[in-house]
Amino acid sequence: MKWRRELLLFGAAYLLYNAGRGFTSGDIDLAVANADWVLGLEGGPSIERSVQDAFGGVWMLLLSHVYLAAQIVVLPGVLVAMYRWAPRIYLRLRDTVIVTWMLSLPVYALFPVAPPRLAGLGMTDAVSEQSAVALAGHSTWFYNPIAAVPSLHCGFAMALGVAVAAAVQRRWLKLLALSWGPIVALSTVATANHYVFDVVAGLAVTALGYLAVTWRPRPVLKAAYA
């Protein structure tokens, strides 16, 4: 059945992603050094700290759950919805997600980056404090804790928002869908899981992934001879 083929495709991509993690071997020292480079490019962690300081209490609780839901609930949920009700959009979204994932693998392997919560900046690991999921220990079996650059949370959220906006008719639904990307980006920075640089990198690599699956070379026009 087609849905089984789709599951196998995503399963294979996930296995390849985990295989790529072996190249970094959990080198946290290198990841922190690379985080320092990112912060040097940004001019310091003032933006990340300001964003986290601006949100507390119930807002941080909501943003922490947005961060968790973005990849483990919303991403598969939207893919399933597009598969059932908008198959043409689904195919483009699926290919964009998988190609973006593969494009990010060598970056994660060659340039591991510790997120703000692990970079010794004194920032709070908000997700671990505000939710039932701790971003440490056994949970790292399912994700790479030193893969801050690029932020696929942000890239995929943008792709999902655009896909849903293209699939729905009502204007308010389109606006709601397109707001998902900025909301997720805010959650990644506020919870100390990504730098602003990561957000930009995530959007860029996802755009590149989209171009890779949609670009078609123009046919070469043959000269006409009399």
* Continuous segment of H or E residues that includes residue 30: helix 28-42
Burial 21-38 (b: 16+ CB within 10 A, else e): beebeeebebbbebbeeb
Confirm if 117 and 194 have CB atoms less than 8 A apart: no
Q: How many domains does the chain have?
A: 1
Q: Is residue 154 part of a domain?
A: yes
Q: In which domain, by residue range, is 148 found?
A: 25-132+144-214
Tracing tokens 């119930």 back to the chain, one arrives at 58
For 11-39, what is the mean pLDDT? 80
- Identity of residue 219: P
* Per-residue model confidence as pLDDT tens digits over 142-177: 678 898 999 999 999 999 999 999 999 999 999 999
Calculate what percentage of the chain has a pLDDT beyond 70: 86
Q: Is residue 106 part of a domain?
A: yes
Q: Is residue 3 part of a domain?
A: no
Q: Is residue 187 part of a domain?
A: yes
The CA distance from 54 to 57, in Å, is: 10
Q: Is residue 196 part of a domain?
A: yes
* Per-residue model confidence as pLDDT tens digits over 49-89: 999 999 989 999 999 999 999 999 999 999 999 999 999 99
Highest mean pLDDT: which of 82-96, 118-132, 140-154? 82-96
The CA distance from 149 to 105, in Å, is: 10
From the list 73, 75, 144, 154, the residue with the least C-alpha distance to 114 is 144
Per-residue confidence (pLDDT) for residue 134, from 0 to 100: 64
Q: Is residue 224 part of a domain?
A: no
The CA distance from 182 to 162, in Å, is: 12
Q: Is residue 152 part of a domain?
A: yes
Q: Is residue 176 part of a domain?
A: yes
pLDDT band at residue 10, thresholds of 50, 70 and 90? Answer: confident
The structure's pTM equals: 0.89
From the list 129, 130, 188, the residue with the least C-alpha distance to 154 is 188
Alpha carbon distance, N-terminus to C-terminus of the chain: 53
